[in-house]
Amino acid sequence: MNTKQLWNRVCMTDPKAVKPITGKQYSGNSPKPYWIVERLTDEFGPCGIGWGFTILSERFERFSDTDTLHVAVVRLWYVMDGQRGELEQVGQTKASYVTSKGSFMLDEDAPKKSVTDALVKCASYLGFAGDIFSGRWDDSKYVAEAAAEWAGRKREADPQRREWLDARKAEIASAKTGGELKKVMAAAIDVVRAQGDQPAEDELNDAFAAKLAQAKPKEAA
C-alpha cells in the first residue's frame, strides 16, 4: 500500500490559487481557501457527503482593552476507500487591534476567518498545498514547474481540446493515401506545436505510427 498516494496527488498547488500572506508579522504565501474546498471535493466528493467539518469550539481571548483574538477548533472529516478519517486543528484571527497608525480596527469576519484557517491547516496534514507548507514554494524554479504542470492538467481536462484531438486522430486513421495522411498530420502538428501542447503531439504521433503499421501489411501483400 502506497501511504502517500493522496499526498502526492494533492501536494502541488496551482500558482493561480496562491496568495501572499498579509496582516502578519511574517511574509510568505498561502493557498486560497476556496481552492482547498474545491480540491477536497475533487478527492472525496461533495461537502457533507464525502467530507465536511465541525466547529468544536470558539472563543475570544482578550489581551488588552484593544487587542482581542478569536480562536476556533475545527474537526475535518473525510471518507476515503470506505474509511472515515478525522483531523483537528486550531485557527485564530485578530478580532480587534490597533494599527501601526493608531487606528482601532474591529474585524467582524474574525470568526469565519478562524474557522477557515483551521480548515486549511487540517487539509494541509493530508497533503493539500503541501508544497507551500513545506517551504518548496520559496523556490522559483519549483513554482515554474507547478505552473507548467497545472497548465497541462487544465488542457487535459478541456472537453473542446479532447474533441478536436479525437477528430484529428480519426482523420489520420481514415486517410486513404499517403499524401492525405501526411497533409492531415502536418496540419494537426502545426496546431499543437503552436499551442505548446506536447501531450497532444505525442498522441498524434502515436496515431500516425499506428496508421503506418496498419498500412505495411497491405503493402507487403
For residue 219, the model assigns a pLDDT of: 55
Considering the domain architecture, whether residues 112 and 179 belong to the same structural domain is answered as no
Considering the domain architecture, whether residues 192 and 136 belong to the same structural domain is answered as no
For residue 29, the model assigns a pLDDT of: 87
**Of 111, 134, 155, which one is at a domain's C-terminal end?**
155
Contacts of 96 (CB under 8 A, 6+ apart): 66, 67, 68, 104, 105, 106, 107
User: Does the predicted TM-score (pTM) go above 0.95?
Assistant: no
**Of 101, 134, 155, which one is at a domain's C-terminal end?**
155
Considering the domain architecture, whether residues 113 and 99 belong to the same structural domain is answered as yes
Q: What is the mean pLDDT of the chain?
A: 90
Considering the domain architecture, whether residues 144 and 193 belong to the same structural domain is answered as no
Range of the domain at 36: 5-155
Considering the domain architecture, whether residues 52 and 146 belong to the same structural domain is answered as yes
SS3 label, residue 45: coil
For residue 133, the model assigns a pLDDT of: 92
Considering the domain architecture, whether residues 87 and 148 belong to the same structural domain is answered as yes
Considering the domain architecture, whether residues 140 and 201 belong to the same structural domain is answered as no
Considering the domain architecture, whether residues 29 and 87 belong to the same structural domain is answered as yes
Strand order in the sheet with 83-98: 51-62, 68-80, 83-98, 104-106
Cell of 11: 501536494
Cell of 29: 504565501
For residue 21, the model assigns a pLDDT of: 76
Q: What phi-psi label fits residue 215: left (phi over 0), alpha (psi between -120 and 50 degrees) or beta?
A: alpha
**Of 112, 131, 155, which one is at a domain's C-terminal end?**
155
For residue 1, the model assigns a pLDDT of: 53
Considering the domain architecture, whether residues 106 and 180 belong to the same structural domain is answered as no
Cell of 78: 473525510
CATH assignment of the domain containing 128:
3.30.390.80
Considering the domain architecture, whether residues 123 and 175 belong to the same structural domain is answered as no
Q: What is the pLDDT of residues 65-94, one digit of tens each?
A: 899 999 999 999 999 999 999 999 999 999
Considering the domain architecture, whether residues 179 and 116 belong to the same structural domain is answered as no
Considering the domain architecture, whether residues 119 and 172 belong to the same structural domain is answered as no
Strands 51-62 and 83-98: unpaired
Cell of 141: 524554479
150 has a pLDDT exceeding 70: yes
Cell of 116: 477557515
Number of folded domains that form the chain = 2
Q: What is the pLDDT of residues 123-148, one digit of tens each?
A: 999 999 999 999 999 899 999 999 98
